[in-house]
Amino acid sequence: MRVYKQSRMKNRILEEIDEKRDEMTKFLQELVRIPSVVAHEGDAQRFMEKTFKDLGLEVDVWEANVAELRKHPAYFETTSYTKFGYKGRPNVIGRLRSSGEGRSLILAGHIDVVSPEPVSAWTHDPWGAEIVDGKLYGRGAADMKGGIAAMVHAFKCVQAIGAKLRGDIILKSTIEEEDGGIGGTLATILKGYRADAAIITEPTDVSNIDIASAGVMYFRIMVPGQSAHAAAAHLGVNAIGKAMKIYNALLKLNKERQSRISYPPAEVDPAMKGHATTINIGKIRGGDWSSTVAGWAELECRIGWPPGEELEDVRKQVEDAIYGEARQDLWLRENPPRIEWFGWRARPHEQDVNHPIVQTVAKFVKELTGKEVKFVGGSAGLDARHYVRYAKVPAICFGPRGFGIHGVDEYVEIDSVVETAKVLALTILNWCGYE
């Protein structure tokens, strides 16, 4: 009898999700058409506020309080906070209170997207949400408004079939994930929005579950030189040339680390083999004038690494490599480069795959897609770390299939958004329980 009832409920929810597919697609198009580049999340958050209210949820909209955040060990000043502050950039929470007899669940997504530049390289309007062959194009379509559409749709359909949940549901639309999620996810956790598990609907290709995130740090190296007239360049010291030495030292460290460090979930994709950790030199500036010997140069870099190393140890390796190189240069020995750690300063995390939330989602993915789930992660910084490391809330990332993330012509496959919604809806019913 119970099995019969369960499978009847299951069929109903799956049918409901298919029937309301167009509604979901329209929602996603509207959301993609609202540009919400990091630090400019306000308009999209107003849209999410209305969405959560229309779902009948108890809604909380507020801006992060930096004085509070600063006290937290995970705090760092994000570059978007430094530049724009948190004003006009609220988080939006929708909560459904239940009898509280079942397990509670957070479904969360970040509303911010990265810049679509260079827009001229796109063949689709990044804010157009055009659909071609089942693919919805736009900046953020995959990362991660498709996932937000899936979670909203899943919850809406659970409501529509009249399932009375026994555990609380918390839907979150957060800011600033691309920049570290300090004023976003971390702020929501500090405000008390925790649960027995959390699913962040980042695009994981439906058949993957992301169980780890990378440690990520940004650093800047200021390399001094000695300016002089170009005609007497031999009397100066070219900082650009000296910066190249540091550049090469970092490449050497990167190579040495990559040969030593491996983390299978980060290397599931054959293209990622041997690249579980990376040092990227992302920006270089220096000098002032073609007729002047460059008196200064600056490199900006990111280091990412999988679970297994502590942040302090990684930082020391980087500093040792830079200062070690400097000691071998007559000029740099006397005029050492300066290292500044700025922006991203995140520790890695790892979620135990045997936890029931991981197994529940994996089970439904297999049932619906016929595919065995792969556990991936550990090469990018993710908001999931805030739950796992600092709130003891088990958390995974699971969501639709997309391409062009942080690149050109980003799209999400609408079928995969529907599939994600189905897995999420079944997970909600199973995890929270219903009457």
Query: How far apart are CB 109 and Zn ion at their closest, in Å?
Result: 8
Q: Is 413 in the site for Zn ion (CB under 5 A)?
A: no
Rg (alpha carbons) of the chain, rounded to whole number: 24
- For 25, the enclosing helix (H) or strand (E) is helix 21-32
Q: What is the dihedral of CA 431, 59, 87, 140, to 10 degrees?
A: 50
Contact in structure between 170 and 104 (CB atoms under 8 Å): yes
Stretch that binds Zn ion, among 78-86, 194-202, 229-237, 305-313 (CB under 5 A): 194-202
Strands (E), 63-185: 91-96, 105-110, 131-132, 135-137, 169-174
**SS3 label, residue 349:** strand
Stretch that binds Zn ion, among 73-81, 148-156, 197-205, 320-328 (CB under 5 A): 197-205
> 96 pairs with which residues across the strands?
169
Site for Zn ion in 119-148 (CB under 5 A): 143-144
316 or 406: whose CB is closer to Zn ion?
406
Q: Which DSSP letter does residue 372 get?
A: P
41 or 202: whose CB is closer to Zn ion?
202
Name which of 54, 94, 195, 162 is nearest 434 in CA terms: 162
257 or 401: whose CB is closer to Zn ion?
401
16 or 177: whose CB is closer to Zn ion?
177
CA distance linking residue 56 with residue 40, whole number of Å: 26
90 or 399: whose CB is closer to Zn ion?
399
Stretch that binds Zn ion, among 23-31, 90-98, 202-210, 409-417 (CB under 5 A): 202-210
Query: How far apart are CB 172 and Zn ion at their closest, in Å?
Result: 13
Q: Is 382 in the site for Zn ion (CB under 5 A)?
A: no
Q: Which DSSP letter does residue 123 get?
A: S
138 or 167: whose CB is closer to Zn ion?
138
As given in the structure block, the two tokens for residue 202 are 């980042």
Q: Is 179 in the site for Zn ion (CB under 5 A)?
A: no
Query: How far apart are CB 144 and Zn ion at their closest, in Å?
Result: 4
What does the per-residue mask of binding to Zn ion show for 323-362, with x meaning CB under 5 A? ----------------------------------------
Q: Which residue is nearest to Zn ion (CB)?
A: 143
Using alpha carbons only, give the angle 182, 185, 189 rounded to the nearest 5 degrees. 105
Instruction: List C-alpha distances in Å: 432 to 108, 186, 193, 196.
Output: 16, 24, 16, 10
Query: How far apart are CB 399 and Zn ion at their closest, in Å?
Result: 9
- Residues near Zn ion (CB under 5 A): 143-144, 202
